Amino acid sequence: MVNAGIFAALRDGFPADLDRIAIETADGPGAPLAYTWRDLERGTAMMANVLASLHLADGSRIAVQTDKSVEALMLYLAVQRAGYVYLPLNSAYQQHEIEYFIRDAEPAVVVCTPKNFTWISRLAFSGGTKNVFTLGDDRTGSLLERAALMSEQHAPAVKRDDDLAAILYTSGTTGRSKGAMLTHGNLVSNARVLKDYWGWQLGDVLIHALPIFHVHGLFVASHGALLNGSKMIWFSRFDPKATIERFAEATVFMGVPTLYTRLLGEAGLTPDACRHMRVFISGSAPLQVETFDAWRERTGHTIVERYGMSETVMLTSNPYREADGERRRGTVGFPLPGVGVRVRNERGEPCPAGEIGGIEVKGPNVFAGYWRMPEKTQEEFTADGWFKTGDVGLIDERGYLRIVGRSKDLVITGGYNVYPAEIEGLINEMDGVAESAVIGLPHPDFGEGVVAVVVPKPGAALDGDTIVGSLKQRIANFKVPKQVFVVDELPRNTMGKVQKNLLRQQHQGLFGG
- Between helix 70-82 and helix 6-13 the angle, nearest 10°, is 120
Q: Which is nearer to ligand AMP, 163 or 391 (CB)?
A: 391
What is the per-residue binding string for ligand AMP in 195-234, x denoting contact by CB under 6 A?
A: --------------------x-------------------
Q: Which is nearer to ligand AMP, 276 or 398 (CB)?
A: 398
Q: Which is nearer to ligand AMP, 389 or 413 (CB)?
A: 389
Q: Which is nearer to ligand AMP, 195 or 216 (CB)?
A: 216
Site membership for ligand AMP, residue 360 (CB under 6 A): no
What is the per-residue binding string for ligand AMP in 280-309, x denoting contact by CB under 6 A?
A: ---xxxx------------------x-xxx
Closest approach, Cβ 94 to ligand AMP, in A, equals 19
The 3-state DSSP class for residue 360 equals strand
User: Per CB under 6 A, which of residues 410..469 are in contact with ligand AMP?
Assistant: none
Q: Which is nearer to ligand AMP, 157 or 503 (CB)?
A: 503
Closest approach, Cβ 408 to ligand AMP, in A, equals 10
Site membership for ligand AMP, residue 332 (CB under 6 A): yes
Q: Which of 329, 406, 492, 507 binds ligand AMP (CB under 6 A)?
A: 406
Site membership for ligand AMP, residue 343 (CB under 6 A): no
Cα separations in angstroms, 239 against 73, 156, 276, 288: 20, 36, 19, 21
Please choose, from the candidates 512, 441, 432, 426, the residue with its C-alpha nearest in 3D space to the C-alpha of residue 482: 441
Closest approach, Cβ 369 to ligand AMP, in A, equals 15
The C-alpha atoms of residue 277 and residue 280 are separated, in whole angstroms, by: 8
The C-alpha atoms of residue 449 and residue 513 are separated, in whole angstroms, by: 9
Please choose, from the candidates 36, 427, 506, the residue with its C-alpha nearest in 3D space to the C-alpha of residue 229: 36
User: Could you check whether the bond before residue 240 is cis, i.e. omega within 30 degrees of 0?
Assistant: no
Site membership for ligand AMP, residue 99 (CB under 6 A): no
The 3-state DSSP class for residue 483 equals strand
Quick one: which segment of 159-167, 278-286, 380-388, 464-472 binds ligand AMP (CB under 6 A)?
278-286
Following CA atoms 155, 157, 158, 163 in sequence, which dihedral angle do they give, to the nearest 10 degrees?
-170
Site membership for ligand AMP, residue 403 (CB under 6 A): yes
The 3-state DSSP class for residue 484 equals strand
**111 burial type by CB count under 10 A (0-12 exposed, 13-18 middle, 19+ buried):** buried
User: Per CB under 6 A, which of residues 247..266 are in contact with ligand AMP?
Assistant: none
The C-alpha atoms of residue 82 and residue 500 are separated, in whole angstroms, by: 40
Q: Which is nearer to ligand AMP, 60 or 436 (CB)?
A: 436
Residues in contact with ligand AMP by CB under 6 A are: 170-171, 215, 283-286, 305, 307-310, 332, 389, 391, 403, 406, 495
